[in-house]
Structure 1
Amino acid sequence: MFSTNNGNALVRAYCDSCKTCATKFLNATQWDSVQKCKNTGASLDTIDEGEADFKAKTGIIQTSSENIFYYSNDRLLHGYIVFMGKYATKTIDAHLIAIRDFERFSKGVAFKQITPQLVAQYREDLIQRGSEVGEDAIGNSAIRHRASQLRLFLTWLLKQKGYRSLDQTLPEYLDLPKAQMAKVKPAKEKVYPTLSEAEEMLRSMPKATQLDRRQRSVFACAFLTGLRANALAGLRHRDVDLHKSIFVQDGTNGRAKNGKSYRGRFFPVPEIFLSVFTEWVNEMETFGANRDDAVFPTKQSLIQNRSPGVQPRKPFEPLKGADVVRQAFAVASKNTKDSYHPHSARHCLAALGFEKCRSEKEVKAWSQCLGHEDIKITLRHYGQLKEETRFEVMEGIEMNRGETDDEKDLLLKFALHELHASDPGYEKAKALYNTRIGRPGDR
């Protein structure tokens, strides 16, 4: 990218085959779109609701790029992409970024020449970049992901014909030493609103136009269902049952993470979230929307079907990407101190679950409605407590040591002699009983 005197940006892209380049002059808004693609791994057509208003100018003279590209391993990488077909495009892109980063470090070495020493040097380079400040710096999470992604690739590589003679311990050289990783700057604290803050944000969102109401409904639906941004963007009327408070993530439409399908129930959030979403669904039905139509149509679809009852009606097409969902959260965050993104709704719901659920069974149900097959995923990655909240919880524990409902049930069974010494939970019930009667040390 090059800046020009009038404030525009000149961007170039190079053809891998003929080495000629395409150039575009972009204004500030267009450049923001390109940056968004670069940061999210999306293509321009997935974030743009309309037609692009600028065209490429294809060059006919060979020029050299400021960046260095390596092509020797591309045929092999194509095979890896085919192997990774079960994953979402975004996941595949993340793995390719890690592999290309390794290529950059090794200056395009052919994968047949990879050595344990080279992999170990790359591991040290990753850790070193975690301690730096500037454009090349990467965080703790990025280091772990890159190492894990490259490890998976090397494991696959060692099974390919012509590569089985490589050192079979290559993936193990990507194990990260705990002592050194402890010195790497920690990942940023995940910022998310409380449920009451989210309610206030929803109330403050504009609703004068149809696009405003679409944004409000997108925001409300995120907290009702906990769906990820791409899944929200691809939601259809058949995926939602307002009467039973049930939703479906349809993994067959290519919008769900890792193609996962599951049924969930609306989360117990304030009534306004369901009310806003229901009003939007009803509004869409007055324009003839049926079960196969998108819940959140594109701007063009809304314009085409603006007059209720007009036949033949064109289908309400789903959003191309998640940009409208991100915009909805940006609008909702306009008057807040923090800028929230769509995934913050899932963190908020996870934190709410930790607060409301009183048994492992309830936590599991809550976790599965978030699309997590394993409770550990919810516990490890979602709803992390803020520092002030942690201190409040610890103070509350110190002041109130009351038992949970499950513990009270155990106490009652123990007192009524319904537990045998060999039953699961007997020892815990006995300890609770002795604590209750003032004999905590008596086992």
Structure 2
Amino acid sequence: MRKHHPENERTKRRYVEFLKHAKQLSDTSIDQALAAIAEFEAANGWRDFRKFRIEQAQKYKRSLAERANPKTGKPLAKATVSSRLMALKGFFEWLAGQPGFRSKLTYSDAEYFRPSANDERIARAVREKPVASVEDIRQVLAAMPDATDIERRDRALIGFALLSGARDNAIASMSLKHVDLGRRTVFQDAREVRTKNRKTFTTWFFPVGADIEKIVADWIAFLTKERGFGPDDPLFPATKIALGENGFEAGGLDQKHWKGAATIRRIFKAAFAHAGLPYANPHSFRNTLAMLGEKLCSTPEAFKAWSQNLGHEHVLTTFTSYGAVASHRQAEIFDQLRTRQVGGDSSVKVAIDPESVAKAVALLTGNPV
């Protein structure tokens, strides 16, 4: 049975070039789009894209709604369904403008891949996820062994993720020269560090404790003084694979960077399991820091600086994407407000300084007064 259509393959190659060079999408995003297109092709017997009919889109949407996740046996998540449908919508919108397809497709054909409004709201809904506290992370660090080079690396890795707030893929690509212990800074240079959207910025160590800072400092001293690592060598080296008595096994540290962040996530998962705590992925440490900033920052200017330290150009990104109030804290706040309402003096009025309000709004929105 045919499992591809030659003309479709040529069309998809052109689409990849469009996504990569015109849309500037990452390889991961492109792979996800291609996977959705391939799945649609398979569902329609790898027919030529020129023979597209809106009934095919409708049939595919119904099949997604009825499909179960092979791992859980439950229906596919609305977010998964929405992601695949929107990838196909984007592809057919592009296709409708290509030579050879303009007489076969219309831009409105792509609209048949759009998820329903209700499904879109469900897919985009923000659901509260447990976020590890600084004390939880400190507990994880205390439980981690540090007898071998790899164990010391793993422990320092988790400490550094909290200290710097850096994303896992950025950490995987950092070199020793990017960390300045004297100034307590991390220079995330997009020419060498895989930062999000390839932004270059400097991060100051977050105030999470001298003990965590010492773990990182000791690790860097170990690499430079005992292992002879130089400025261009990786901050967190990959594991060297050696041939042992039982086959391939870990053989210490290699002077090479990790190619991606998958290993970092596995290290985090194992460390939290070892400590008996729910898994907190590397990215969730940024939520931990955002929540810490809400407690420590007493002025809008301080929180603006905290937000910039996370690599956010706009402070509202920190508020809306990372700074959600946890449900238990929300309950505490409303209990306090309720107490004030019932027991407080309603005749007491607090004067609000208009100038202070204006300055606060200006800092939050990034528009100076």
Q: Same fold (TM over 0.5)?
A: yes
1:356-395 paired onto structure 2 within 5 Å: 356-358=296-298, 361-375=301-315, 377-382=317-322, 384-395=324-335
What displacement does 1:411 show? 4.2
1:299 counterpart (239, 253, 258): 239
Query: Which residue identity does 1:341 align to in structure 2?
Result: N
Contact 1:88 1:259 in 2 (8 A): no
Distance 1:339 1:412, change over 3 A: closer
Instruction: Tell me whether 1:105 sits opposite 2:43 in the alignment.
Output: yes
Matched residue, 1:327: 266
Deviations 1:131-150 (A, max 9, x none): 99954732132233223333
Amino acid aligned to 2:159: A
Q: Which amino acid aligns with 2:263?
A: V
Deviation per CA, 1:153-191: give whole Å up to 9, x if none: 333323322223311123433433233556789787533
**What's the secondary structure of 2:187's corresponding residue?**
strand
Q: In the alignment, does 2:53 pair up with 1:115?
A: yes
Aligned length: 335
Secondary structure (helix, strand or coil) at the match of 1:119 reads helix
Aligned to 2:15: 80
Give the alignment partner of residue 269 of structure 1, picking from 208, 214, 219: 208
- For 1:176, the equivalent position in structure 2 comes to 115
Partners of 2:65 and 2:35 in 1: how far apart?
Answer: 17
Corresponding residue for 1:290? Answer: 230
Q: Distance in 1 between matches of 2:299 and 2:113?
A: 38
Q: Distance in 1 between matches of 2:112 and 2:299?
A: 41
Contact 2:287-2:322 within 8 A present in 1 as well: yes
Q: Is the 1:139–1:186 Cα contact (8 Å) retained in structure 2?
A: no
Contact 2:290-2:318 within 8 A present in 1 as well: yes
Q: Decide which structure has the larger Cα Rg and report it.
A: 1
Instruction: Return the alpha-carbon distance in structure 1 between the equivalents of residues 198 and 123 of structure 2.
Output: 34
Matched, 1:143 2:81: yes
- Classify 1:300/1:185 alpha carbon distance in 2 versus 1 (closer, same or farther; 3 Å): closer
Whether 1:348 aligns to 2:301 is: no
| Local SS of the residue matching 2:186 | strand
Q: Residue type of the partner of 2:53? A: T
Structure 1 pair 284–140 and aligned structure 2 pair: CA distance change class (3 A): same
In structure 2, which of residues 279, 282, 291 is the aligned counterpart of residue 339 of structure 1? Answer: 279
The aligned counterpart of 1:92 is 30
Contact conserved, 1:346 with 1:382, CA < 8 A, in 2? yes
Contact persistence 1:95–1:146 (CA under 8 A)? yes
Residues 40 and 60 of structure 2 are in contact (CA less than 8 Å); yes or no, is this contact kept in structure 1?
A: yes
RMSD of aligned C-alpha atoms?
Answer: 3.7
Structure 1 residue 263: Cα displacement: 2.7
Distance 1:178 1:318, change over 3 A: same
8 A Cα contact 1:199 1:272, kept in partner: no
Q: 1:75 to 1:362 in 2, by over 3 A?
A: farther
Q: Please, what TM-score do these two structures have when normalized by structure 1?
A: 0.64
Q: Given that residues 223 and 269 in structure 1 are in contact (C-alpha distance below 8 angstroms), is that contact kept between their aligned partners in structure 2?
A: yes
Pair 1:133–1:229, CA change in 2 (3 A): closer
Unmatched runs of 5 consecutive residues or more in structure 1 = 1-63, 303-313, 402-409, 426-443
Take 1:133 and 1:207, find their aligned partners in 2: how far apart are those partners? 35
> Aligned partner of 2:286: which letter?
R
2:331 is the counterpart of 1:396: no
What is the CA-CA distance between 1:220 and the residue it aligns to?
0.8
Partner of 1:221: 160
Structure 1 match to 2:100: 162
Contact 1:206 1:212 in 2 (8 A): yes
Contact 2:19 2:30 in 1 (8 A): yes
Aligned residues with identical type, % of pairs? 28
Post-superposition shift, 1:319? 1.9
Deviations 1:196-249 (A, max 9, x none): 111111122111111111001110111112222222111111222222222233
User: Are the structure 2 counterparts of residues 95 and 371 from structure 1 closer, same or farther at C-alpha, using a change threshold of 3 Å?
Assistant: farther
Residue 191 of structure 2 aligns to a residue whose secondary structure is: helix
The answer (yes or no) to whether the contact 2:236–2:257 under 8 Å persists in 1 is yes
CA distance in 2, matches of 1:125, 1:200: 46
How many angstroms apart in 1 are the aligned matches of 2:300 and 2:97? Answer: 41
Give the equivalent residue in structure 2 for 1:42.
none
* Alignment partner, residue 237 of structure 1: 176
